[in-house]
Amino acid sequence: MAKVSIGLRGWRFEEDDVFDDDGSLKTLVEMPPDTRSRILRLTALVGEPCDACYLEHGEANVAECNVGSIVYGEPTGTVLLCGPHESDFLYWYREEGGSDLAGEPELANAFQAWFDSGGRAPAGYGGLEHVEEDRDELPDVNPGALESLEDELCAMDESEREELDADVEDLDLDIDE
């Protein structure tokens, strides 16, 4: 089966882990735990500003920030980037020791500290070349699919959410606990 990105580039999912046979998004309980954690985290990230832009412009000027389109890291330590700042992250990761934090929640804080202290990729530093191939062969994802996951979580009682074994603390959900 193919690997697919959902909502943001960066994290790639096994198609079978996310979609059922008719191409619909599986329910959270049907997804493997790691996939479920990443999908839940995506619901909080989609539409948010790029971390690097936010550090450059600040809360008062968040409207000047690009919306993040690329995610790196783990669900507990994500870096959300726009296209122009991806090369900064890749430079830091490849050349400045960021790869030592691969898989660690500290990756996001370490990159943000490096960037905030003036760290940047040198002019012309190459990023990743993204190839979008056979897009028509991928299952159609309902644009509201990630939002429906939030609805699914809200409909669950506390014990059902605990059984998911997923960290949902940093999601902006209207769940009464």
pLDDT of the chain along its 177 residues, tens only? 688 888 899 999 999 999 998 888 899 999 999 999 999 999 899 999 999 999 999 989 999 999 999 999 999 999 999 999 999 999 999 999 999 999 999 999 999 999 999 999 999 887 655 445 444 444 444 445 556 666 777 777 777 766 665 555 545 544 444
Evaluate whether residue 172 is within a structural domain. Answer: no
CB 10 within 8 A of CB 136: no
Whether residue 163 lies inside any domain: the answer is: no
Number of separate domains in the chain: 1
CB 87 within 8 A of CB 95: no
Residue 76 lies in a domain: yes
| Residue 47 maps to a domain | yes
CA distance 166 to 23: 24
Q: Among residues 116, 67, 69, 74, which one has the least CA distance to residue 92?
A: 116
Residue 176 lies in a domain: no
Asked if residue 28 belongs to a domain, the reply is yes
Q: Containing domain of residue 36, as a range?
A: 3-146
In a domain, 10, yes or no: yes
Q: pTM for the complete prediction?
A: 0.72
